[in-house]
Structure 1
Amino acid sequence: MTTGNTASGTFYLFNKKEQSSPIVFIHGVGLTHEIWQPQLDFFKNYSTLSYDILGHGKSKLEKEQIDFNDFSNQLLDLIDELTIDKIHLVGFSIGSLIARNFSTRFNNRLKSLILLGSIYKRTSQQQQIVNERFNQAKKDLKLSKQALKRWFTDKYLEDNPDTYEKISSILSSNNIENFLKAYELFVKHQNDEEFEKIKINTLLMTGEYDYGSTIEMSQELSKVIKNSELKIIKDGKHLCGIECADEVNLSIKDFVEKND
């Protein structure tokens, strides 16, 4: 595993194996590449690439106004600098929206697409809830640690206090100005992608009890993304990539190997 920074200031971890196209992981808003540790450990014999998105962790963000094209361009610059041709792309939460944007613009760079905890066509009530959370975050200048109650089951948090402390520490370390720029994009997302441009095989995954990125959202998303299939992670909530890592990892492995 090597770490580095691109010329434009993106921090990354790259585990290069000659025999395979890399699996690239994009984390969620307010988080960092560190949430993918269960996946990086599981796929240690595969090429993997994880990185901090703009304005998160150790990656720079110098623009005042950003959009999803900026995040896609960041990923494109990263794989170009590492001379990577094609990738298997895994995006979580806002990372799934970045992955969707990337797929509509640079579909030729993909071998497969995996969207974990993605959103699609929030109801008016769901939109009101996320608006209120965003407004509260602007007021408090932080994302409430109550988010962890939405991201993990109570039992998991009770049994894994170290994970609670780790994720809380990541949230507390955010540059709040940059965090709010990304969070606003996530909250105000309008599902305006040109889904017909996603021509690569796609796996949609969401937790059984994820109330922000619901089963219904993934079911509807599967109708507009051709060549897609749906996997529900039993007993999972939003961060099922950590809590239900075994099932998520095996699902990614099967899909990647089928499409490599």
Structure 2
Amino acid sequence: MTASHLWYQSSNPQGPVTVILGSSLGTDRAMWSEQVELLPREWNVVPFDLRGHGLSPLSPQTPTIDDFADDVVSIADELGVDRFAFCGLSIGGVIGQSLAARYPDRISSLVLASTGLTILTRQGLLDRSARVLNEGTAWIAELSAPRWFTDRFRADHPDVVRTKMQHLRRMPARAYSDACLALSEFDGHVIASDIVAPTLVLAGDQDLATPAAGSAELAKAIAGAELRTLPDSAHLCNVEQPELFTDLVREHVEAHR
């Protein structure tokens, strides 16, 4: 299915609960495969591909985080869903902040995983964007593997790691670059007080990409937010701890449906 230019999947369009899943930079909707399997069958679980990721085409111009958030609303509109839960990881969590702050009437509950009020530094993101455009994404795949997954997971599940890295190596350099540029202009400090949706913040205890301290700062900035730390997991904590991650999401969404 497509909402304007986005590719997404809808597991149960008539379901009483809709949960839209926003992926990490450099991944596609397949990163949510276990959540799609483990969340209640009667729910409508909707993973989607960011612009330029997976099957979604490149944006005509460099998008902002607000543009990515507007994309989520366009999916909900196409599904005919007024209120929905949103779970986003990494840049998906940044998108979730914009979404909840700007569309408070649309969000029933919010899960922000492996993310923060900012990600990296503005200059670091600009440098990464420029290098990816010049050299492609192979080097960032090599850098990302030990940041996305713990040593133990990489040893026990080399096939999963290989698949994720192959996707990152194949994705258009401009898609990755555009997302870095969007992140470089985002500062969640200025909108955190506008978020009123019940919020759960999830952090991997071994996340080097978005350290748990940043997740704690994010949870403190959003009124009433709850922080949970997942053990033995790095950046893609939903992949490393699928049962625990999914249980926490299910409980939070169920409590605020």
Q: How far, CA to CA, are the matches of 1:228 and 1:96 in structure 2?
A: 14
Number of the residue aligned with 2:26: 30
Query: Structure 2: which 5+ residue stretches go unaligned?
Result: none
Q: TM-score, normalised by structure 1?
A: 0.90
Of 167-176 and 109-118, deviating more is 167-176
Q: Which amino acid aligns with 2:24?
A: G
Cα deviations by residue, 1:154-198 (Å, 9 ceiling, x for unpaired): 121111111012101210221111221112222453335422221
Question: What is the alpha-carbon root mean square deviation over aligned residues?
Answer: 2.0
Q: 1:127 to 1:177 in 2, by over 3 A?
A: closer
Within 5 Å, give how 1:126-205 maps onto structure 2. Answer: 133-142=128-137, 143-205=140-202
2:36 maps to which of 33, 40, 49: 40
Number of the residue aligned with 2:11: 15
Secondary structure of the corresponding residue to residue 177 of structure 1: helix
Q: Which amino acid aligns with 1:31?
A: T
Is the aligned partner of 1:72 residue 2:69? Answer: yes
Q: Which amino acid aligns with 2:218?
A: L
Of 143-152 and 101-110, deviating more is 143-152
- Indicate the percent of aligned positions where both proteins have the same amino acid: 23
Number of the residue aligned with 1:94: 91
Secondary structure of the corresponding residue to residue 14 of structure 1: coil
Cα deviation, residue 127, structure 1: 6.3
Is the aligned partner of 1:211 residue 2:187? Answer: no
Cα deviation, residue 212, structure 1: 2.3
Q: Which amino acid aligns with 2:5?
A: G
Query: Structure 1: which 5+ residue stretches go unaligned?
Result: none
Tell me if structure 2 keeps the 8 A contact 1:208–1:235: yes
Q: TM-score, normalised by structure 2?
A: 0.91
